[in-house]
Amino acid sequence: MCTPSVENVQALEDSLKTSIEQGSSLNSLSSLVRIAIDANTSAVAHKSIWALYRLFYQLISEHHGHSAKVEARAVRLWLHERMDDYIQLLCGLLKDEEARLRVDSLNILLSLVKCFSERDSMAHSVPSQLRIVTRVTKALLLCPASIRAHHQKNSTPSHLVDNDVKEVFVHDWLNAFDDVRWVFFKKSMLMFKSETSGPVKMIMSWNLLALLEKIDALPTTADELGRFCMFPNTKHANPETYNGTQEDPDEDWGLFFETLEEGQHEKRVSRHLKTSVRDSIESLASHRAVFSACWLFLLPQLPMSSALSTRALSILHAVAIPHVDQPLRFMDWIASCVDQGGATGLLALNTLYQLIVRHNIDYPDFYRRLYGFIDQELLHSKHRSRFFRLVEAFLSSSHLPAVLLASFVKRLSRLSLRASPAALVLIIPFAYNVLKRHPVLMVMIHNPVHNFGDDPYNSVQESPLLTHALQSSLWELNSHRHHYLASVSTMAEILSQPMTKVAYDLDDFSDHSATTIFENETSQQIKHPLIFGLDVVGGSDNPMVAHWQLSTP
């Protein structure tokens, strides 16, 4: 049997077009699907999937018009099976080695969703487009190897969603259509709920987080809802169709978050039976609920102190928290991350701070935990500059007690004695900004404490309210006025001058390292260089009586 070529595919497509128009046999459709599945070259695979798209689009349109050519039940069932094979083929190409095949397969799937939407807009059944979005969601979260893997060079492909597919899916699907995004959230939640394999859940976690962090079009008001693709006539439509219980009898977006009083179970079941997919898609509360559920199923799967947890925490306060209905549900996981310390704990503190400020969540140990993060290891961390920016924001409130603020400044002052120059150029501007914002701390500059032995500061006290830092002074920072590095000693002088300068922007010092400091020092031009010359004293020719004499040009 000869290997199919692009020309064979074209001939087969032309033949099938004629058969559709004449109402004759469509058996060759199976052959074309098989060619696409077994294609040994990307050119044949690409030609096949587009040929099948054009043919199925024509068939769907014919069916939408209720043509007599496809009225027979057996024919409709057979076409449904071929369409199912085709959808499976396209989803199986989302991890193909060829970027063009991946992206085109995703674009075709979206186009089919729109095509089915037009046909099913007046139908009274669970629509085909819902099944397509469900299939795509599963394919993107699991990322199985391409169905053409045996024709490709990479024998061990990654199970992570490719960047080009991710960008297209988020931009053209999730950010563009409210109903597609709602279904994606709900199906993702159900997949996490039903999956029991740890490794599979880890793959799903990586891929779901990669998609969630790119979504930036979540609705904030009910008026923003209305960009529908799967159900183009959903807005203000009769909600009697597309009953949610037809596909997921055990899942209703409201049940997951509903807190019931005793004896209300029957009422909940009654409401569940009346809830439709259309009702849910039109409800802002529904969107917030499935989005929240998605995150709540995802976060427990992320290993503590891992790259996944760090990624999630870096976006949680900006991407998730503003759009969930009950932020308090995130507290247990965030508090566990705080306990981990390090970069994970630091990012968790930032998220926790946002919950305290924006949602009035009570966490009385926040500043004690933050105080505990300040240690010698922090000054050598790659997250050092981010920590200083966050702490500056945390200490910006004018309602904080002076003893607490003094403890933070003093602790950093003490640690500066063993800090590198790169850390010092962050500590000194930070201390200046805090002192300028809170003038009550100015007494720490003038306190008569001049050495370590006379310092009343208790450095081992865990509570920043009990360290006696306000009775101490910043003699450690003052000592840096005699630092060996001119840039550090010059900066330290600002604490002995009137504080008339504006607050420093810590971002200006965030990129400093030992390398950049060395380059800055060695690249400076010396205006008045000193020259060491050898002069002979008293005109003696004996080098033993000569000495070095400093001279200038």
Phi, psi of 126 (to 5 degrees): -65, 120
Q: Give domain status of residue 251, yes or no.
A: no
For 335, the token pair is 């508090």
Q: Give domain status of residue 378, yes or no.
A: yes
Distance of CA 338 to the CA centre of its chain: 19
Amino acid sitting at position 315: I
Question: Do residues 217 and 224 lie in contact, with contact meaning Cβ atoms separated by under 8 Å?
Answer: no
User: In Å, what is the CA distance from 330 to each residue of 202, 314, 348, 547?
Assistant: 20, 14, 11, 75
What is the residue-wise DSSP string for 24-63?
---THHHHHHHHHHH-SSHHHHHHHHHHHHHHHHHHHHHH
pLDDT in tens, the chain (553 residues): 467 889 999 999 999 999 988 888 888 999 999 999 888 888 999 999 999 999 999 888 876 444 444 456 788 888 888 999 999 999 999 999 899 999 999 999 999 998 888 775 544 345 788 889 999 999 999 999 888 866 666 555 688 999 999 999 999 999 999 999 999 999 999 999 998 888 999 999 999 999 999 999 899 998 998 889 887 765 544 433 444 434 443 333 333 333 334 444 444 333 433 456 777 888 999 999 999 999 999 999 998 878 889 899 989 988 999 898 888 889 889 989 988 888 788 889 888 888 888 888 888 889 999 999 899 888 888 778 888 888 998 998 888 999 999 999 999 999 999 988 888 889 999 999 999 999 999 999 877 765 656 789 999 999 999 999 999 999 999 899 988 888 888 888 988 888 888 888 887 776 666 677 666 666 776 666 655 444 444 444 444 444 434 444 4
Quote the number of domains for the chain: 1
Show the domain range for 416. 366-523
For 50, the token pair is 């587009």
Q: Give domain status of residue 445, yes or no.
A: yes
Give the integer Cα–Cα distance in Å for 295 and 192: 10
For 116, the token pair is 């089915």
Q: Which residues contact 165 (CB under 8 A, 6 or more apart)?
A: 94, 102, 103, 106, 140
Give the integer Cα–Cα distance in Å for 348 and 208: 20
Question: Do residues 408 and 434 lie in contact, with contact meaning Cβ atoms separated by under 8 Å?
Answer: yes
Q: Which residues contact 43 (CB under 8 A, 6 or more apart)?
A: 6
Q: Which residues contact 34 (CB under 8 A, 6 or more apart)?
A: none
Q: Give domain status of residue 98, yes or no.
A: no
* Residue 276 bridge partners (DSSP): 243
Phi, psi of 58 (to 5 degrees): -65, -40
Q: Which of 218, 202, 206, 197 is nearest to 162 (CA)?
A: 206
Q: Give domain status of residue 314, yes or no.
A: no
Q: Give domain status of residue 39, yes or no.
A: no
pTM for this predicted structure: 0.78
Measured from the Cβ of residue 26, the count of other Cβ atoms closer than 10 Å reads 20
Measured from the Cβ of residue 425, the count of other Cβ atoms closer than 10 Å reads 22
Q: Give domain status of residue 475, yes or no.
A: yes
Q: Give domain status of residue 49, yes or no.
A: no
Question: Do residues 480 and 490 lie in contact, with contact meaning Cβ atoms separated by under 8 Å?
Answer: no
Give the integer Cα–Cα distance in Å for 271 and 351: 35
> At 470, is the secondary structure helix, strand, or coil?
helix
Compute the C-alpha angle 203/113/10, nearest 5°. 100
- The secondary structure of residue 540, as a DSSP letter, is -
